[in-house]
Amino acid sequence: MQDTGYGNIVVIGASGALGQAFVERLVADNDTDSVHINAFSRSPVSFASPDVHTGFIDLTSEQTIERAAATAAGFGPIDLVLVTTGILHTDILKPEKSLRDLSAEKFQRLFAIDTIGPALVAKHFLPELAKDRRAVFAALSARVGSIGDNRSGGWYAYRAAKAALNMIIKNAAIEMGRRYKDTIVVGLHPGTVDSHLSKPFQSHVPPEKLFTPDFAVSKLLAVIDNLTPVDTGKCFAWDGQPIPP
């Protein structure tokens, strides 16, 4: 069996399509004797492998984030943190097509989950990363969070929340880089992936561009494996291409 070299791994958002696929692929790709996978989620989820240890996290409760970080750190310094949480829409909140659709409620909800939550995860998990070797903190962002790449407008709150997440990632990378030269902090764009999040927006996506979660995470894990410290602070797509800020 292949071994990625990660000993203590954390997946935040393990109940989501991408989070679940990350856990399953990490189980399949690692020698399970030497890896410990912490899978945190708000909704309960179970995995067949005994090497996956599930736990609760709600990004709107800093206490649960702090507790999850302490639990994961109890298994030793962390090699890889994957933040796979996020929202684009809810039953009552739809992405905006025009300024007319903006509401404070949409901004507050999306920023709470897509920006503030991952920032608090960084606050509590980055200090627990391994400091004497390569360690990676990767958060799922989105290409639409790129200001330079924005050609079609719309989706104000989601775009703004992901752009703000990219700034948090850059800031955290600078702060960590001052002391830990082998710590890598990045954002990742998974492509358009079949999930609850993308479901309402899939009709115009050609079938070959709508990825399965397993395909997307296989590509993203390959991107992560190839990251070096010069990549810290940046955002990369599933095919390894950097996304402009």
# binding residues, ligand NAP (CB under 6 A): 28
Q: Does 149 bind ligand NAP (CB under 6 A)?
A: no
Q: Give the helix/strand (H/E) hosting 225.
A: helix 213-226
Whether the Cβ atoms of residue 136 and residue 81 lie closer than 8 Å to each other? yes
Whether the Cβ atoms of residue 157 and residue 137 lie closer than 8 Å to each other? no
39, 121, 122, 140: residue in contact with ligand NAP (rule CB under 6 A):
140
Tell whether the torsion through CA atoms of 117, 118, 122 and 125 is positive or negative. positive
Q: What pairs with residue 193 in β-bridges?
A: 211
What is the radius of gyration, based on Cα positions, of the chain? 17
Q: Does 84 bind ligand NAP (CB under 6 A)?
A: yes
Q: Does 43 bind ligand NAP (CB under 6 A)?
A: yes
3-state secondary structure 140-151: ECCHHHCCCCCC
The neighbour count for residue 138, using CB atoms within 10 Å, is: 24
- Using CB under 6 A as the binding rule, the residues of this chain from 153 to 182 that contact ligand NAP are none
- E-strand spans in 87-216? 135-140, 183-189, 192-193, 210-211
34, 60, 212, 241: residue in contact with ligand NAP (rule CB under 6 A):
60
Which range in 23-31, 35-43, 220-228, 231-239 contacts ligand NAP by CB under 6 A?
Answer: 35-43
Q: Does 82 bind ligand NAP (CB under 6 A)?
A: no
Q: Does 113 bind ligand NAP (CB under 6 A)?
A: yes
7, 16, 95, 233: residue in contact with ligand NAP (rule CB under 6 A):
16
* Closest distance of CB 73 from ligand NAP, Å: 19
Which range in 41-49, 70-78, 97-105, 166-174 contacts ligand NAP by CB under 6 A?
Answer: 41-49
Query: Which residues are at the interface with ligand NAP (CB under 6 A)?
Result: 13, 15-19, 41-43, 57-60, 84-87, 113, 140, 142, 189-190, 192-193, 195-198
